[in-house]
């Protein structure tokens, strides 16, 4: 997967998690069982964690380095 795709997918999933949390609060206020909704939220949160790890790996692999070195090129440095 590309870095842009993962970033967009993360943004979408984080919005879904927010909606799910609001739904759990509403169910709790109504006195209904929230077990299934909380399990879904846990799975969604785990998937976001996986996507973040994959995003970090892609970012590290994409970092430009000097030829023959492991130093990263970071552009102009302001002092």
Number of domains composing the chain: 1
pLDDT band at 10 (very low <50, low <70, confident <90, very high): very high
Does the pLDDT at position 60 exceed 90? no
Q: Global pTM? A: 0.74
Which of 62, 47, 58 is CA-nearest to residue 13? 47
| Structural domain boundaries enclosing 46 | 3-62
Tell me: the pLDDT tens digits for 11-50? 999 999 999 999 999 999 999 999 999 999 999 999 999 9
Evaluate whether residue 77 is within a structural domain: no
Evaluate whether residue 74 is within a structural domain: no
Does the pLDDT at position 63 exceed 80? no
pLDDT band at 65 (very low <50, low <70, confident <90, very high): low
Evaluate whether residue 71 is within a structural domain: no
Residue 60 has a CB neighbour count (10 Å cut-off) of: 9
């Amino acid at each position: 997967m590309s870095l842009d795709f993962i970033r967009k997918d993360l943004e979408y999933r984080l919005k879904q998690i927010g909606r799910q949390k609001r739904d759990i609060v509403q169910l709790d206020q109504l006195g209904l069982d929230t077990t299934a909704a909380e399990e879904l939220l846990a799975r969604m949160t785990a998937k976001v964690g996986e996507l973040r790890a994959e995003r970090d790996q892609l970012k590290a692999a994409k970092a430009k380095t000097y030829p023959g070195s492991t130093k990263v090129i970071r552009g102009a440095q302001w002092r």
